[in-house]
Amino acid sequence: MLERIQDAPADALALAASGTVMARDVEQAVDAALGAISAPTGLVVVIGDDFDGYMAELERGLANVAAAHRTIVRIALVTGPGQSAEATLGVAQSAVPIRLFAAGDRLAAFDWAESARPGQ
């Protein structure tokens, strides 16, 4: 499941991943969250402790979203302990830069994603 992160900075497109997440879930969540955004933006995905570990599906969805939405110019993936090694396997397949952040660096992930916006 993917849900908007309520305490994210106002300009951030941020989603929390929990449970089972398939590629189409990522695509649907981003489509809904982007709405009418036309300016370049970054996407932050925070992987929760209860994420089922379908990292390849999550990454496939992120790659599809990056290819389909020109407004997404970078993706920050916030991973917990033990998840970063699996996450590094698919980040090279994206049309935009994907940067991994540790769970403790969540604010840095928001800052990095927001810096994609003009004037940031």
**Rounded-to-integer distance, Cα 33 and Cα 44, Å:** 12
CATH fold of 2-114, please?
Protein-Tyrosine Phosphatase; Chain A (3.90.190)
DSSP state of 107: H
Helices (H) and strands (E) in the chain, counts: 4, 5
Identity at 16, one-letter amino acid code: A
Q: What is the pLDDT of residue 87?
A: 56
**Rounded-to-integer distance, Cα 42 and Cα 47, Å:** 16
The residues near 101 (Cβ < 8 Å, ≥ 6 apart) are 76, 77, 78, 79, 108, 109, 112
Any idea where the domains of the chain sit in the sequence?
Answer: 2-114
Q: What is the pLDDT of residue 7?
A: 85
pLDDT (tens, 9 = 90+) of the chain, 120 residues, equals 999 998 887 777 899 999 999 999 999 999 998 876 778 889 999 999 899 878 889 989 999 999 998 889 899 999 987 665 555 555 556 788 889 999 999 999 999 988 876 655
**Rounded-to-integer distance, Cα 27 and Cα 69, Å:** 10
What is the pTM (predicted TM-score) of this model? 0.88
